[in-house]
Amino acid sequence: MQTSHHKWMGAALDQARAALETSDVPIGAVVVGPDGTILGTGRNEREATGDPTAHAEVLALREAASARREAGDGDGWRLNDCTLVVTLEPCAMCAGALVLARIPRVVFGAWDPKAGACGSVFDVVREPRLNHWVEVHSGVRGDECAGLLTEFFQEHRRR
């Protein structure tokens, strides 16, 4: 499984780098189906769209649900056999979306000590009072993911 996580994180990193084209924070995500096929991709698009909810994870979940619905695969929104792979630990909004989409596992690269909601600041995905819990795999290509963010913010501060 770790080899797959590493490969899938490469696809998420490609999405993160694409976010730089619109001056968005370089965070990328992919939703992977049970057979290893990428069902949805997303990158931060808040600057590009002016939408505060345009986080990589939300956009990837939307695309995966739409693909499932179009394929006639269940109701679309229940992604209960998929994995979300994202370059940065999801925030509270995105962690809540994972729970609502019934995602069974999240794989992320860098921890977010300021807003993370998968174990650092909050642990929304494993909150026992909720009706669904998410398995967490952290640190996959973590240095690479963190480096991309560090470089972005250093450049951002220089401007």
Find the CATH number of the domain harbouring 10.
Answer: 3.40.140.10
C-beta atoms surrounding 51 within 10 Å:
12
Which residues belong to the annotated binding site for Zn(2+)? 55, 91, 94
**pLDDT, position 117:** 98
Q: What is the pTM of this model?
A: 0.96
**pLDDT (tens digit, 0 to 9) for every residue of the chain, 159 residues total?**
578 999 999 999 999 999 999 999 999 999 999 999 999 999 999 999 999 999 999 999 999 999 999 999 888 899 999 999 999 999 999 999 999 999 999 999 999 999 999 999 999 999 999 999 999 999 999 999 999 999 999 998 988
Which residues belong to the annotated binding site? 55, 91, 94
- Residues annotated as part of the active site: 57
- What's the domain range around 140? 1-158
Domain count, the chain: 1
For the record, the structure tokens of 17 come out as 């780098």
